[in-house]
Each structure stands twice: as structure tokens, then as C-alpha cells.
Amino acid sequence: DVKVTQSSRYLVKRTGEKVFLECVQDMDHENMFWYRQDPGLGLRLIYFSYDVKMKEKGDIPEGYSVSREKKERFSLILESASTNQTSMYLCASSLQGVTYEQYFGPGTRLTVT
């Protein structure tokens, strides 16, 4: 079974802090994704990566950056957390290409105070 893990289920940070959200997958998937999910707004893609050290902006990249130094790990970075980044963050992975299903981690509920 594909397993995608995220470093924290719940996280509380203060405004202005630098925040790292880690995601690890164990199925040798090429693609990895970061989404945020907010009530009424559905799932929105922040960034995705189709290979090590490669990244592409999604729909809402502002205020975020990512890092993919190893194939299995994809990190989301909030350079200076703000209250409007309070959200559920979901990581996913898939085989290469658009044809394959994405497998999701359990999510990290981030609260910025």
C-alpha cells in the first residue's frame, strides 16, 4: 500500500514564524503535491514537483516555497506565517503524468495565531 506521511497532524505557530511542513512517501512516486483545504474553497494546489529539485507553482503559491532534495520527501515552507495561512494542508504523491491517482497523507491542521 502507498503510504504518505506528514510530520504533524496539528501545529500551532505564531505570526511571522518560519514553518516547515514535511511530507514523505514510500512508493517511489515521481510526483508530489501540496494542497490547502479551506471550507467553501475546496482543494487548492499550492505547489507540485515532478522530480527531485524540480517544482512548479500551483494556483496559490504566494507566501509559500517548497523543497524537494530527495525523491521521497517534499517540504512546504511558510517563510513568514500569517493568520490567513491557517488551514488544513494536504500532501499527495502519484506516479508520473496526469493519468494516475494521487495518494494523500493524513493532513496537517495549521493554526497561525
Partner 1 sequence: AQKVTQAQTEISVVEKEDVTLDCVYETRDTTYYLFWYKQPPSGELVFLIRRNSFDEQNEISGRYSWNFQKSTSSFNFTITASQVVDSAVYFCALSADSNYQLIWGAGTKLIIKP
Could you list the residues that contact partner 1 (CB under 8 A)? 33, 42-43, 45, 48, 56, 58, 88, 90, 92, 98-107, 109
Minimum CB distance to partner 1, residue 93 (Å): 11
Minimum CB distance to partner 1, residue 58 (Å): 7
Q: Which is nearer to partner 1, 9 or 14 (CB)?
A: 9
Q: Which is nearer to partner 1, 14 or 54 (CB)?
A: 54
Minimum CB distance to partner 1, residue 111 (Å): 15
Q: Give the burial class of 101: count Cβ atoms within 10 A of its Cβ; 0-12 exposed, 13-18 middle, 19 or more buried.
A: exposed
Minimum CB distance to partner 1, residue 15 (Å): 24
Q: Which is nearer to partner 1, 56 or 79 (CB)?
A: 56
Q: What is the DSSP string of 5-35?
A: EES-SEEEE-TT--EEEEEEESS--SEEEEE
- 4-35 residues labelled b (16+ CB within 10 A) or e (exposed): bebeeeebebeeeeebebbbbbeeebbbbbbb
